[in-house]
Amino acid sequence: MNSYPIDTTVETLSPGRSYDNAVTAFGVNGTDKMELEVKPSFSFEKEKFIVELDLQ
């Protein structure tokens, strides 16, 4: 797998979340279970969703 930079890392993280293994934006190093926190960009709700990923 080739690595390449993605333009920017969003500086908004919820409490308890971290950038561990993050390169920039959504680039990650590693093959393990991870969680991605998603909040729709154009939503007026404060609800966030957690998507579990198993990188192999």
Number of domains present in the structure of the chain: 1
Name the more confident of 32 and 10: 32
Whether 49 is in a domain gets the answer yes
Mean pLDDT of 2-27: 57
Whether 15 is in a domain gets the answer no
DSSP state of 45: S
List own/partner pairs for 34-42 with CB under 8 A and 24 or more apart.
Answer: none
**pLDDT over threshold 60, residue 33:** yes
Whether 53 is in a domain gets the answer yes
- The pTM assigned to this predicted structure is 0.40
Question: Which residues form the domain of 43?
Answer: 31-56
Q: With cut-offs at 50, 70 and 90, classify the pLDDT of residue 15.
A: low
Q: With cut-offs at 50, 70 and 90, classify the pLDDT of residue 35.
A: confident
